[in-house]
């Protein structure tokens, strides 16, 4: 399998070196600049970290593997974190330390050397940083790789790196995974480190991990960084609830049904159930309030005026500031209630299987941050990724992975589980992956020996 695990094995076996692999990733950044996936990289930093890896014994499962940070979320020493914003780009410098998650990534052997594209403040399901080119989908450059971790997805699908950091507050790991044929786990609430400042947790909406080409890469990363969390037992035969929103097109529904058959072939019990659309819409509205209040508070804390923001972000921030404290408190209570109600999805099922997207990835430029119709923008996000915010608001783990192709594009699906069921989902994902049609990615992984 061509993935980060294979790349680490090649380094460990002496078939290549961390420096040679890093040089290949740096060259790929230059050669694929038009992809818009990588917005910043430090050649000297990358080579210094690779040389250090070659000089020491392997310390983790991904020893010597190049790694890219998303421009939103956890901070990596030596790299900027500006949330795709021109205003923050001007205010913030290079991070002087790793946060807890990046320290764990580093202990696993990953070598951070650059930053991937994200839309301003993660407010879209595309990845067009303010003032920079929009990231493009390596499978079809006329389409988006998704968002807000779209730069990370484009970099992995194109082979610039084998694995990259990603975050998810309303689908931002799973949507790019579906757009680009990748695997991405939105972990359970509290399953991965968020300190020391916990600045991107958004009242528990946000989780962070990676995008990769294989279940084993995601599972190895999760094992390396996760915090202790109560988990349901792994008991076969697994019970799968197949939930198919009517808003999804025929190709998306077909992929989910095919994955359900694969799980049946693996010995799981599959039953079709109504899609949790009411819970999903409620979760989307809760997430919208939290994202808006967070952005308003964040910009005030940073001293960034509305006229320094894209019109859409400014409008979202204004709505956040205008939200009464009583309304936010009510939303926090509603969030707790929805989390409890969502657990009932798993009284007779170990996982819920459903599509990630309603249709194929949108075209480049389909979202415009220069508009200020907040209602229309959030409605478009919910329509693009039905029920995605449910996992975030309820604190559920959700695993996205590919199954088949349509019109030369990969199709994605997701498994949601009860809180703490991250490893159950990865186990089920491995069953699906073993039975899924093989994907031939748009580009080989940089530095992986053939």
Catalytic site residue from 25, 85, 149, 172: 172
The alpha carbon of 449 is separated from its chain's Cα centroid by a whole number of angstroms, namely 27
Catalytic residue status for 148: yes
> Residue 16 corresponds to which tokens in the numbers above?
């290549």
Strands across the sheet with 65-70, in order? 38-41, 110-116, 65-70, 163-168, 207-212, 183-186, 398-406, 409-416, 351-355, 239-243, 269-273
- For residue 196, cis peptide bond before it (omega within 30 degrees of 0): yes
The b/e string for 120-150 (b: 16+ C-beta within 10 A; e otherwise) is: bbbbbbbbbbbebebbbbbbbeebbbbbbbb
Grouping H, G, I as helix, E, B as strand and the rest as coil, residue 440 is: coil
Q: Which residues contact 336 (CB under 8 A, 6 or more apart)?
A: none
209 — phi, psi (to 5°)? -165, -120
Q: Which residues contact 52 (CB under 8 A, 6 or more apart)?
A: none
The whole-angstrom separation of Cα 234 and Cα 238 is 8
Catalytic residue status for 337: no
Local structure of residue 121 (DSSP, 8 states):
G
| Contact call for residues 273 and 318 (beta carbons, < 8 A) | no
Local structure of residue 122 (DSSP, 8 states):
G
Catalytic residue status for 363: no
| Contact call for residues 119 and 86 (beta carbons, < 8 A) | no
Catalytic site residue from 70, 149, 292, 294: 70
DSSP class per residue in 276-322: -HHHHHHHHHHHHHHHHHHHHHHHHHHT--GGGS-HHHHHHHHHHHT
Catalytic site residue from 85, 148, 149, 294: 148
The whole-angstrom separation of Cα 7 and Cα 18 is 9
The whole-angstrom separation of Cα 174 and Cα 385 is 9
> Residue 54 corresponds to which tokens in the numbers above?
């070659």
Beta pairing class for 351-355 and 65-70: unpaired
> Residue 336 corresponds to which tokens in the numbers above?
């707790």
Question: Residue 67 pairs with which residues in a beta bridge?
Answer: 112
The whole-angstrom separation of Cα 16 and Cα 104 is 24
Local structure of residue 33 (DSSP, 8 states):
G
The whole-angstrom separation of Cα 336 and Cα 344 is 14
Catalytic residues: 70, 148, 172
């Amino acid at each position: 399998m061509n993935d980060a695990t294979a790349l680490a094995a090649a380094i460990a076996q002496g078939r290549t070196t961390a420096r040679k692999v890093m040089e290949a990733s740096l060259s790929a950044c230059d050669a694929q600049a038009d992809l818009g996936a990588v917005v910043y990289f430090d050649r000297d930093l990358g080579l210094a970290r690779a040389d250090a890896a070659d000089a020491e014994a392997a310390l983790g499962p991904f020893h010597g593997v190049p790694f890219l940070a998303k421009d939103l979320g956890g901070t990596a020493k030596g790299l900027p974190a500006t949330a795709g914003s021109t205003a923050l780009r001007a205010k913030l410098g290079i991070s002087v330390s790793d946060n807890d998650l990046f320290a764990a990534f580093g202990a696993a052997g990953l070598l951070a050397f650059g930053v991937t594209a994200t839309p301003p403040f993660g407010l879209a399901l595309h990845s067009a940083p303010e003032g920079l080119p929009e990231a493009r989908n390596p499978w079809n450059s006329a389409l988006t790789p998704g968002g807000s971790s779209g730069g990370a997805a484009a970099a992995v699908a194109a082979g610039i790196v084998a694995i990259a950091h990603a975050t998810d507050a309303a689908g931002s790991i799973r949507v790019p995974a579906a757009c680009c044929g990748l695997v991405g786990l939105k972990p359970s609430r509290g399953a991965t480190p968020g300190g020391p400042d916990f600045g991107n947790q958004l009242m528990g909406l946000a989780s962070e991990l990676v995008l990769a080409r294989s279940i084993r890469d995601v599972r190895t990363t999760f094992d390396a960084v996760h915090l202790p969390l109560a988990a349901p037992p792994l008991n076969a035969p697994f019970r799968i609830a197949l939930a198919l929103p009517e808003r999804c097109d025929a190709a998306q529904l077909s992929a989910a049904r095919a994955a359900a058959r694969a799980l049946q072939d693996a010995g799981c019990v599959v039953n079709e159930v109504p899609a949790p659309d009411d819970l999903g819409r409620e979760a989307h509205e809760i997430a919208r309030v939290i994202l808006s209040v967070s952005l308003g508070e964040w910009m005030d804390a940073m001293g960034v005026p509305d006229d320094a923001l894209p019109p859409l972000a400014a409008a979202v921030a204004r709505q956040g500031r205008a939200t009464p404290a009583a309304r936010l408190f009510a939303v926090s209570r509603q969030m707790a209630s929805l989390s409890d109600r969502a657990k009932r999805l798993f009284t007779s099922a170990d996982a819920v299987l459903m599509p990630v997207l309603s249709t194929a990835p949108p075209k480049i430029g389909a979202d415009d941050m220069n508009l200020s119709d907040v209602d229309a923008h959030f409605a478009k996000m919910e329509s693009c990724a039905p029920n995605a915010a449910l996992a975030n608001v309820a604190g559920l783990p959700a695993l996205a992975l590919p199954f088949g192709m349509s019109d030369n594009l990969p199709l994605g699906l997701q498994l949601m589980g009860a809180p703490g069921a991250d490893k159950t989902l990865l186990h089920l994902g491995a069953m699906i992956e073993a039975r899924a049609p093989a994907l031939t990615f748009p580009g080989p992984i940089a530095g992986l020996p053939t």
